[in-house]
A and B are shown apart, each in its own frame.
Chain A
Amino acid sequence: MGDWMTVTDPGLSSESKYISQYTSETKMSPSSLYSQQVLCSSIPLSKNVHSFFSAFCTEENIEQSISYLDQELTTFGFPSLYEESKGKETKRELNIVAVLNCMNELLVLQRKNLLAQENVETQNLKLGSDMDHLQNCYAKLKEQLETSRREMIGLQERDRQLQCKNRNLHQLLKNEKDEVQKLQNIIASRATQYNHDMKRKEREYNKLKERLHQLVMNKKDKKIAMEVLNYVGRADGKRGSWRTGKTEARNEDEMYKILLNDYEYRQKQILMENAELKKVLQQMKKEMISLLSPQKQKPRERADDSTGTVISDTEEDAGELSRESMWDLSCETVREQLTNSIRKQWRILKSHVEKLDNQVSKVHVEGFNDEDVISRQDHEQETEKLELEIQQCKEMIKTQQQLLQQLATACDDDTTSLLRDCYLLEEKERLKEEWSLFKEQKKNFEKERRSFTEAAIRLGLERKAFEEERASWLKQQFLNMTTFDHQNSENVKLLSAFSGSSDRDNPTVHSRPRQKKPHGAPSGSPVCMSKLTKSLPASPSTSDFCQMRSCVSEHSSISVLNTTPEESKPNQVGRECTNQKWSVASRPDSQEGGYSGRSSTYADSHVEKDDLP
């Protein structure tokens, strides 16, 4: 402000320029500095009024300066500082009211400007941080782009290599094919050659055989002979017949007779088979008709025209065909009718059966689904209930155990006190006092603990709500990223798999409320009691507890690990960008999960320490 006052050029127009300059200078400075300046500016203004104005206006040039100001103000649209002159000659009087009004207006303007300046500066700051952020983002994206570009180049290179390989393989294949073709040709030629050779050899062989035959057989080999004591009679008792044309004809006749017999036999068999099949067919047809007839009305009622007509057709056909005489006709005449009618009926039957099947399957599926859903819900409810019951039972057992121990220790105390009683009554008194003190302390601690647990519960609820919110947000995010679906499913699978690893460790989301429970609602008092009573066999719950805690923290770290490999998976260039975004979104929460686990352990240990007297 002071700077502006020292400006020799009193143009109001420069004000805005200066402000802008100023704000640009103070861009990096926090807003507190700015407000200080504003504060400063108002104070020196009042102090330096005199000296300030003396620089501009002196005793001598009041008039000029007033007129100058008047001029300036009027040019800016303010009312004139002078009173309305009645006459031209009369010297215009300075209107104090107007001056004051003007000043006031100027001040108001000034304040407004300051406000605007402040706004602009904050905006500028915001914009600056936005800019930073965007620059960061830009840098990251640039990096990504670079990596993806590199990958792309790598992939292209690989592609090229593969193509090269492919080309080579194609070439090899072609060569192989050529080779095969060549070999086939060779085989074919060899085969023909072989056949040719074979034929030649066989001819030679035949020639030799012929020669041998001549040599061996035509020599009137005396050795080739049969010595028989006496010729025996033929088996059939007949005499051998002469070979004549008649015998040949007879042989032919006999042969054909045999063949005919065979064919007749076969025909008979086929006829028999046919008759049986016809019988079966007829029976089937009858049964079909009887089966379908009660349902005929229904499809007609349903105005199912096609089937209705078909049925009427078949009825007619059936009427025709059911006559016994038709069955005795040769197949050719009846065949068409028969096959047609059977086909039609079969079609009806088939459609009917399919319908039934559909219905059945539908009913089945529906029923199954319903059952399934119900059972699942029931199951979940039941398991929840059972879990609750188990929890309660466990607590009961714990408390009972503790009570028992307490009793036992109390009893011990009593005996020792009795023993000591022999020596010192005072000490006993003291001990009693101490005991009451301890009890009081215990009560206090319990109170404290309760408050703690309440706070923890509240915290837990809040956290739960937050987590739910986050989950829904994440889900939305996930849903938005449709390309990610299968990866998501993988993620889910991983989670579920790890949840199934042990029955105690439910999915992390489920386990969280449980984490709170132990140091929340119930078991605080038993723990502290056990400490108080100094029972050495420390209740197993605490140690278990710690283990579980560590487990949980491990799991949270695991979940972090689970997410990371997916981030580093550079599957596709286009996908990676979104992937990165997602990782940015997801990483803090996973870390937070880890921290939350750890922090809760700290809290717990802290509470335990407190419990110790």
Chain B
Amino acid sequence: MNFSEVFKLSSLLCKFSPDGKYLASCVQYRLVVRDANTLQIRQLYTCLDQIQHIEWSADSLFILCALYKRGLVQVWSLEQPEWHCKIDEGSAGLVASCWSPDGRHILNTTEFHLRITVWSLCTKSVSYIKYPKACQQGITFTRDGRYLALAERRDCKDYVSILVCSDWQLLRHFDTDTQDLAGIEWAPNGCVLAAWDSCLEYKILLYSLDGRLLSTFCAYEWSLGIKSVAWSPSSQFLAVGSYDGKVRILNHVTWKMITEFGHPATINNPKIVVYKEAEKSPPLVLGRLAFPPPRAAAGPLSSTESKYEVASVPVSLQTLKPAPDRANPRIGIGALAFSPDSCFLATRSDSVPTAVWIWDIQKLRLLAALEQLSAVRCFQWDPRQARLAICTGGSKVYLWSPAGCVSVQVPGEGDFQVLSLCWHLSGDSLALLSKDHFCLCFLETEQGVGTAFGQRGDHT
């Protein structure tokens, strides 16, 4: 495992291009585009103000930089560095900006969700979409880029509009039987739309592309409901994480629940491998102790090593007690992610913030649990294989695969606190983001990785 040198970064804005060739990162008002392999700077763009959001177009030709404070969007072309485009939303303000899947339109949401403006880069035409709903996930495109589903709110009722992306024509418009629609998401095959209600009610509705209601699922009533939703890449399963600390898996044939994954605080089943991160300070070498301690040694986190130990069951995980008088209680399943082959599901229960649970979808049971020393910030699956990268805000990055677990110290001066991470398309490298730096982690080729995991696998 190799690490690149550390580059500057602001606002955690660092993204690989969809074709995997480039890496865009922001430093204040500058946008830096590097080669993803060599990390040489390919282009450098300067925006008018601090960049708050960047997004690659689907064809990797353009990058949009949103400057929400100024109500501005600046678009840059990679092929033509001199080409530029600036969209000013004026007094209407700007809260969100995104590309349409064709990479030639930009959807800007104005303040107060008054409307969504669709700007075209090809023609002068401007389209407006009225009544968008201000919710968790109100816009979703199908994977093939043909359709856009949009959550709307009119006259105290929730609606979903399905638009054709090619000419922004309305294809379907239907009301949803929800109190307060919280989110919508297309299945990866683009034929089923999942819509779920706000956390006050457990309700998930499944609509066909043509607007028919396929099924409704409600696990329970009178309690806080859905917190997170994820489709499996094969569109076969829909995982619904809820505030009761359970993940329910629905199937795509009957849309009934197949199974229920509870997240108990104690794991008793000896079949489940529980990896426990254990910290140990390295043995002090007298010769290395210099009088002014080097900066690397000064940080307490960097001086300690950590490794995984296979804990013997029963294991009790650290749980947080939620404060009952606070809003947004730290309970329920906050994050869900299917592996690219749909074989594994990684979940995080917010009441057990230090643990990541990995479920075997083929056997429908818990496969492994990882208990970290600190709360899990973010995890993401390798887009190519069943390999999960986890970061906890410390100076380490953790990888899980069915063969085992590793924790890797990020080298470098000072403390590199990994707050977020994102995989390269090929799964060969991983961008690690800290508050104001980022670096790339290059994973070895298959054989090297195999041996690395093999060593760890001895513990299992």
Residues of A within 8 A of B (CB): 198-199, 202-203, 206, 209, 212-213, 216-217, 221-236, 240-241, 243, 247-248, 251-252, 254-256, 258-259, 262
Contacts and interface: CB of A to CB of B under 8 A. Distances in A.
B210 interface: yes
14 contacts: A213-B115, A217-B115, A223-B90, A226-B119, A229-B82, A231-B121, A231-B124, A232-B83, A232-B104, A235-B102, A235-B103, A240-B125, A243-B167, A251-B164
B122 A248 contact: no
Contact of B87 (A226, A241, A252): A226
Given A213-B130, A225-B87, 15 more contacts: A198-B156, A216-B114, A217-B114, A224-B90, A226-B87, A228-B84, A228-B121, A232-B121, A235-B58, A240-B122, A243-B169, A251-B167, A251-B171, A258-B209, A259-B209
A223 B117 CA distance: 14
A75 B119 CA distance: 156
Given A212-B114, A235-B59, A243-B167, A259 B123 contact: no
Q: Which of B103, B115, B122 counts the most A-chain CB atoms under 10 A from its CB?
A: B122
A231 to B, nearest CB: 5
B169 A251 contact: yes
B171 A221 contact: no
B171 A255 contact: yes
B413 interface: no
Interface string B79-112: 0001111111111100000000011100000101
A213 B113 CA distance: 10
A549 B89 CA distance: 107
Interface in B151-184: 153, 155-156, 164, 167, 169, 171
Interface in B68-88: 77, 82-88
B146 interface: yes
A252 B91 contact: no
A213 B114 contact: yes
Contact of B91 (A198, A216, A229, A262): A216
Contact of A199 (B102, B119, B120, B156): B156
A61 B57 CA distance: 168
B191 interface: yes
A234 B104 contact: yes
Interface of B: 58-59, 77, 82-92, 102-104, 110, 112, 114-115, 119-126, 130, 146-147, 153, 155-156, 164, 167, 169, 171, 189-191, 208-210
A55 B340 CA distance: 143
Contacts of B147: 255
A203 B88 contact: no
B101 to A, nearest CB: 9
Nearest to B90: A223
Contact of A202 (B120, B122, B156, B167): B156
A262 B190 CA distance: 9
A231 B80 CA distance: 12
B210 A223 contact: no
A365 B88 CA distance: 88
A244 B89 CA distance: 29
B90 A203 contact: no
B85 A233 contact: no
Nearest to A224: B90
A93 to B, nearest CB: 125
A198 B156 CA distance: 9
Contact of A229 (B58, B84, B210): B84
A515 B450 CA distance: 76
Given A213-B114, A216-B114, A259 B208 contact: yes
B89 A224 contact: yes
A217 B164 CA distance: 25
A162 B299 CA distance: 68
Given A223-B91, A240-B122, A234 B102 contact: yes
A198 B157 CA distance: 12
Contacts of B210: 255-256, 259
Contact of A232 (B92, B122, B126, B164): B122
Q: Which of B119, B126, B167, B189 counts the most A-chain CB atoms under 10 A from its CB?
A: B167
A236 B122 contact: no
Contacts of B190: 258
Contacts of B120: 240
Contacts of A236: 102
Contacts of B156: 198-199, 202-203
A252 B83 CA distance: 37
A104 B91 CA distance: 157
Contacts of B123: 231, 240
A51 B460 CA distance: 128
A217 B92 contact: yes
A240 B118 CA distance: 15
Nearest to A203: B156
Contacts of A232: 77, 83, 104, 121-122
B138 to A, nearest CB: 15
Contacts of A228: 84-85, 121
Contacts of A198: 156
A230 B124 CA distance: 10
A262 B167 contact: no
B122 A231 contact: yes
A230 B114 contact: no
Instruction: Give me the 9 closest cross-chain CB pairs, A-B, nearest first.
Output: A223-B90, A224-B90, A262-B191, A221-B90, A227-B86, A228-B85, A226-B87, A251-B164, A199-B156
A229 B86 CA distance: 9
Nearest to A227: B86
A247 B86 contact: no
Contacts of A202: 153, 156
Contacts of B125: 240
A215 to B, nearest CB: 9
Contacts of A223: 88, 90-91
Contacts of B89: 224
B237 to A, nearest CB: 15
A256 B167 CA distance: 17
A48 to B, nearest CB: 109
A225 B209 contact: no
Contacts of A203: 156
Q: Which of A224, A226, A227, A233 counts the most B-chain CB atoms under 10 A from its CB?
A: A226
Contacts of A241: 167
